Amino acid sequence: MVSRLHGPNMVSPFAGWPMQLGLLLGLLVSMVVVWGLDRPRGRWGRTLRKRFLFGIPWGTVVCVSGVIAVYLFVQDGWNHWYNPVTVAFASWSYLYPLGMLTGPFSHVGPSHLLGNMTSTLAVAPLAEYYFGHYPPNDGETSFSSWRTNPWVRAFVLFPLGVVTIGLLTSIFSWGPVIGFSGVFFAFVGFALVRYPLGTVIALSVQTVVSTLYSAFHDPQTIAHATTSFSRPWWYGIAIQGHTMGFFLGAVAGVYLLRSRGVRPSALRVWAGGFVVLVSSSLWALWWYRGMETFVLFRALGVLFVLTLATLLAVAVRTTDQRTFSPSARQVGTVLLLIPIIIMAGVAAPLNLTTVHRNRADALDTGVTVGDYTVTYAENVPNRKVSVIDVSVGGETTDVNTSGVIVINPDREIWSREVSKGQLAYAGGATVRVGGVGWAKTVKVRRTGWTVTGGSAAYQVWIRSPKGRWKHVFSSDSVTASPVLAGNNVSIVPRKGRFVLRLSKNNSTVGTAPIPGKNSTVTIDGIRFTRKKNNHIIAAVNDTRIEVTKKEQYGG
């Protein structure tokens, strides 16, 4: 119906600024109506002003603004919104302090940034409300000390606590981590112990905030059926970083409960924790299994979340001295601290490993940009996963990888930035490297030929910002399934060129370069003609058959 009304070249009246304006007016009218209904009691304003300076969660505003500023000005997202510099700002190693400092506050792209920020805007105000800008205990005055000063609490102490949690999630990370999600889970853990139901509702609000933003930014979306390269949605989730953030927030929340003498319901905390952690995918435990194969331990993940919710309920309940002895309170505290200690114990040796120069030299066939090397390799050990050889339950940390690799021994960086599968789908990619105050874009290109009944022979080139294309990789030759007069036809990559090879009984009969469009080459009486559509047809007497065609890319 829509296509008949508007046609392919007409603009829908339901797109653009009219709908954006309508959305804003609708939201405003709805809020005014509800505010008018509740205004006689004035409950909302009084409640917020009781805990917040002028009723606004300033600490959340400061933190979100700071993270966005890192993306725009440190990662160069201001100039490259969809392609910021990421490789320099992940937590690679203790020997690379800049990455450790910036990792928890940097993001890999706009969707990563906006996802974490909308989640933070939903949950962080609840955590800040629990923290409060004003003293919660009777008899304390707001300006009796710097710790009770609402301005200090809103603009210094709360943001300082957020930065501290972020740094701890980075320091205790198991391998490179980038993103604010560890801090988000700290907000969740902190708020859950005091307001379990409120935290569940806040997570639902995150979906509302995200939908409102999407509706305003893109009022109408037209989608077409396409092929694409994708990995499972759970690939890349830093579960250990999220778990560490959750425990750190929970410990801080339980400490505040005890200092204020609050007695929450263990059942509510357990139920709220289980619902929140499941809905936020903390159960998605996964690992590598092959080049582009990954395994999700769904049942184990649910048991993991149940354990976390139970630990939280026990720790919260042991804040009640009239039900448990002081020793029980200590047990509750230890139950939360043990996972943090274990995770820190694993993180320390992992983050003390280095990218040795002899390892980097083995892949030093690419282009150099500043102190970075960008290259392409296949079936090589992933130096940031295969740090320590461990095998458990049939899974192993001895993981190989293929794709565009960025190496920087000075910064302890070894990163597979573009996978073999991604490059095969798109045919090209860009990789941005840099540091504070500088950034460069490196381009990668793949060209190949797919044989009939077989796979592809391909080659990869890389170009630095001011350099020429450099050939960095050639695949093995591939053989087509059709047999022509007893001969096999193969495509052979040779240092930037592709060659047709005719062979019989494992002996080469002859070779010739791939012909140009609408051109023909002949090998031992067999004619190979390249059509305009980049298909090569072999002709023997009156027989015609396609033997290969140029790779087509979807990106």
> Strands 400-408, 413-419: parallel, antiparallel or unpaired by DSSP?
antiparallel
Tell me, yes or no, whether 199 lies in a domain: yes
34/60 same-domain check: no
126/263 same-domain check: yes
Tell me, yes or no, whether 527 lies in a domain: no
Q: Which long-range contacts (CB under 8 A, 24 or more apart) does 43-52 make?
A: 50/134, 51/129, 51/132, 51/133, 51/134, 52/128, 52/129, 52/132, 52/133, 52/154
User: Are 170 and 106 spatial neighbours (Cβ–Cβ below 8 Å)?
Assistant: no
263/209 same-domain check: yes
Task: Determine the Cα–Cα distance for residues 53 and 154; give it in Å rounded to an integer.
Answer: 7
406/452 same-domain check: yes
Let me know if 77 is exposed, middle or buried by CB neighbors in 10 A (0-12, 13-18, 19+): buried
User: In 3D, which of 418, 466, 413 has the Cα closest to residue 445?
Assistant: 418
DSSP assignment string, 380-431 = EE-TTTTTS--EETTEES--EEEEEEEEEGGGTEEEEEEEHHHHHHHSEEEE
Task: Determine the Cα–Cα distance for residues 116 and 483; give it in Å rounded to an integer.
Answer: 56
67/166 same-domain check: yes
Sheet architecture: strand order including 507-513 = 478-484, 487-494, 497-504, 507-513
SS3 content of the chain, % helix, strand, coil (to 5): 45, 25, 35
340/209 same-domain check: yes
128/196 same-domain check: yes
SS3 state of residue 468: coil
Task: Determine the Cα–Cα distance for residues 535 and 515; give it in Å rounded to an integer.
Answer: 11
Six token digits for residue 189: 């853990």
345/399 same-domain check: no
CA angle 44, 133, 200 (to 5 degrees): 55
Six token digits for residue 208: 């509302």
8/80 same-domain check: no
Tell me, yes or no, whether 476 lies in a domain: no
Tell me, yes or no, whether 514 lies in a domain: no
Helix (H) or strand (E) holding 130: helix 110-131
Q: What is the pLDDT of residues 24-65, one digit of tens each?
A: 787 788 877 777 776 655 666 677 778 788 888 999 999 999
Task: Determine the Cα–Cα distance for residues 341 and 338; give it in Å rounded to an integer.
Answer: 5
Residue reference for tokens 């701890």 = 168
Tell me, yes or no, whether 118 lies in a domain: yes
Q: How far apart are the first and last CA of the chain?
A: 30
User: Are 351 and 90 spatial neighbours (Cβ–Cβ below 8 Å)?
Assistant: no
Last residue of a domain, one of 316, 351, 386: 351
Q: What is the pLDDT of residues 362-389, one digit of tens each?
A: 456 789 998 899 999 998 887 766 555 5
Tell me, yes or no, whether 542 lies in a domain: no
User: Are 149 and 132 spatial neighbours (Cβ–Cβ below 8 Å)?
Assistant: no
Beta-sheet strands, E only, within 46-133? none
275/335 same-domain check: yes
Last residue of a domain, one of 471, 486, 511: 471
pLDDT of residue 287: 80
8: containing domain: 1-41
* DSSP conformation class of 230: -
Last residue of a domain, one of 351, 386, 413: 351
Residue reference for tokens 């920087």 = 408
445/370 same-domain check: yes
pLDDT of residue 208: 81
Task: Determine the Cα–Cα distance for residues 146 and 127; give it in Å rounded to an integer.
Answer: 21
What does each C-alpha distance from 337 to 282, 299, 316, 357, 405 come to in angstroms? 19, 25, 13, 38, 37
Let me know if 383 is exposed, middle or buried by CB neighbors in 10 A (0-12, 13-18, 19+): buried
User: Are 526 and 487 spatial neighbours (Cβ–Cβ below 8 Å)?
Assistant: yes
User: Are 281 and 234 spatial neighbours (Cβ–Cβ below 8 Å)?
Assistant: yes
Total domains in the chain come to 3
Tell me, yes or no, whether 67 lies in a domain: yes
Tell me, yes or no, whether 456 lies in a domain: yes
75/20 same-domain check: no
Ranges of the chain with pLDDT below 50:
1-11, 13, 323, 358-362
User: In 3D, which of 184, 185, 170, 161 has the Cα closest to residue 102?
Assistant: 170
Task: Determine the Cα–Cα distance for residues 160 and 153; give it in Å rounded to an integer.
Answer: 9
